[in-house]
Chains A and B, each alone.
Chain A
Amino acid sequence: MISFFSAKEQSALPGFRITLGYAVLYLSLIVLIPLSAAFLKTATMTWPAFVHAVTSPRVLASYRLTFGASLIAALINTFFGLLIAWVLVRYRFPFKKIIDASVDLPFALPTAVAGIALAAIYAPNGWIGRWLELWNGSYLCKSLGTGSHALLGKLSTWTGGHSLPAFLPSDFTIKAAYSPLGVLIALTFIGLPFVVRTVQPVLEDLEQELEEAAGSLGANRWQTFRRVLLPPLYPSLLTGFTLAFARALGEYGSVVFISGNMPMHTEITPLLIITKLEQYDYAGATAIAVVMLVTSFALLLVINLLQKWSLQKLRGR
């Protein structure tokens, strides 16, 4: 209470106590109390029951898929996000403004719409899924035509005498929708803006002098990029990566339509929570939710530290 009065002394503006009081009350009612309900609910479980609920094989399979696909999606987004940010900051091309604005589409587009759109495109009869479906073993043999046998023979000698089908079975197809690849596609979509939007402002503020100096000292473009331009971008790249990863972990709407939701195979953790709820297994659902919440909060902490780091780095220069 004493500190509140001293705060009032510092600033002569009115309304401190009422606005802060309202903000804290509203925050508690809407966010803190409901969130604590999840933790209190699991506190009523016994420890073995909790461990059993969060480590059953089906749950473990969902963690593997969710964490694995989120990690790969965040890596893809880090690479392409840097590339897109670079292109948007450095080059000029038609419709640049519209393309720049559209990078935020995954933020603005409802996840359910993204989900059904991606499912429609990557389904076996969809615009892109159709072509992926064609890309299979029997198609390869057919397209290679009559010479294929000779070629296959040659190939089998390259592969160390093994017959080719061992490496490329004739029923081999790339299935995008209703497979883990579909989950990856959806998570890549929703994480797309993060790296672009964290890297872009830093790239805009980079001083040209450093590049000129590197160039005039005899570095080629690639060396300049790797040694001069890339290091100042590391904090923002890492922040963008973590944001995309954290977002992907909890994502539900865009994934459930394209993944097929097969237990042990393409079932993500948020979906498993809903499944448990629908079976009235509230304790089980909440236990998994608590594991995810703790992970998310740890990531939030990492993001905050990263942002402090990048601020320090920017100010230090």
Chain B
Amino acid sequence: MAGSISRLNRSTTARRVTQDPAWVRWILITVALGFLGLFLFVPMAAVFAEGLRRGFGPYFDSFCNPDAIAAIRLTLLVAVISVPFNLVFGVAASWAIAKFQFPGKSLLITLIDLPFAVSPVISGLIFVLLFGLQGWFGPWLYEHDLKIIFAVPGIVLATIFITFPFVARELIPLMQSQGNDEEYAALTLGANGWQTFRRVTLPNIKWGLFYGVILCNARAMGEFGAVSVVSGHIRGKTNTIPLHVEILYNEYNFVAAFAVASLLTLLALVTLALKSFVESRSHRIQRYES
């Protein structure tokens, strides 16, 4: 009885001591929301407002333009190629890093993060230095009539570089926290390596994998700086959606520029929705397990 009373007292005083006065709360919430509004919500609203300035007709016309269709198609193609490449790499790298001990492991983890530290413009530049006409392989490529820079392969390469760490970064800490016990159990029960991975590891990491893939995909479809350096901006051929937006904007075709940009904004919103869905999902699993 005495114990419960003292606990009751403690919780009421605790609430008073650790809670801010109402006016402080309201000021802080207002300032935070004001800042977010100014920098996030107003720009997002502006994309749709500018795109719909002349109504729905011109808005939808912007997508029927052949150059816009070519840009959308190229962006999808680039994402479809580059995401699986980084997915396979992410799974392989995190398997080696999380399940085994070897020297140089932390160096490898740092090197995997390297592309995040490189400016997008430089990410494009290095591929120009390799495959451009003045680059290392430039003359050889020219002789064999192969084009990488100012063509689709260059765009794919730059995108792979930019989105390189996304999947590995999500999977490495996740697999490290899960340990090897379940895999050992599967092997002892007679499963081979591939079966162990498919039936035991994969179900454990599926949400982390999905999380990495959606972030990787969003960046692959939206990358601008790196792609801009290697693409050559050939209309209908090497323009991705962000580059198409840039061209329309620089031609003062604002309605079309913002209409196409709203497509990428929707992609970002869907990505965020999926992201918070996955987060709530994995939180629930963690809570259930603990």
Residue B161 at the A interface, CB < 8 A?
Answer: yes
Q: Which of A25-55 contact B (CB under 8 A)?
A: 26-27, 30-35, 37-38, 41
- Whether A286 touches B129, Cβ cut-off 8 Å, given contacts A23-B108, A296-B117, is yes
Residue of B nearest to A27 (CB): B111
Asked if residues A109 and B99 are in contact (CB atoms below 8 Å), the reply is: no
A75 to chain B, nearest CB (A): 14
Q: Which of A65-97 contact B (CB under 8 A)?
A: 80, 83-84, 86-88, 90-91, 93, 97
Residue B6 at the A interface, CB < 8 A?
Answer: no
- Whether A299 touches B125, Cβ cut-off 8 Å, given contacts A87-B32, A108-B271, A116-B249, is no
Interchain pairs with CB closer than 8 A, number:
294
How far, in angstroms, from A293 to B254 measured CA to CA in the complex?
A: 35
Which of B120, B130, B134 is in CB contact (< 8 Å) with A253? B120
Asked if residues B44 and A105 are in contact (CB atoms below 8 Å), the reply is: yes
Asked if residues A102 and B222 are in contact (CB atoms below 8 Å), the reply is: no
* A101 / chain B contacts, CB cutoff of 8 Å: 272-273, 275-276
B261 to chain A, nearest CB (A): 4
* B35 / chain A contacts, CB cutoff of 8 Å: 80, 83-84
Interface residues on chain A, number (Cβ under 8 Å): 98
A278 to chain B, nearest CB (A): 10
* B202 / chain A contacts, CB cutoff of 8 Å: none
* A199 / chain B contacts, CB cutoff of 8 Å: none
B241 to chain A, nearest CB (A): 8
A233 to chain B, nearest CB (A): 16
9 residue pairs bridging A and B, Cβ less than 8 Å apart:
A23-B93, A27-B89, A30-B160, A31-B114, A35-B118, A87-B32, A221-B21, A292-B122, A296-B119
A residues near B (Cβ < 8 Å) are: 3-4, 7-8, 10-16, 18-20, 22-24, 26-27, 30-35, 37-38, 41, 80, 83-84, 86-88, 90-91, 93, 97, 99-114, 116-118, 120-121, 126-128, 185, 188-189, 192, 208, 211-212, 214-216, 221, 224, 246, 249-253, 257, 270-271, 273-274, 277, 280, 282, 285-286, 289, 292-293, 296-297, 299-300, 304
Q: Would you list the 3 A-B pairs with minimal beta carbon distance, nearest first?
A: A250-B119, A215-B17, A110-B222
B residues near A (Cβ < 8 Å) are: 10, 13-14, 16-18, 20-21, 24-25, 28-29, 31-33, 35-36, 38-44, 46-47, 50, 89, 92-93, 95-97, 99-103, 108, 110-115, 117-122, 125-130, 132, 134-136, 157, 160-161, 164, 180, 183-184, 187, 192-193, 196-197, 215, 218, 221-225, 228-229, 241-243, 245-246, 249, 254, 257-258, 261, 264-265, 267-269, 271-273, 275-276
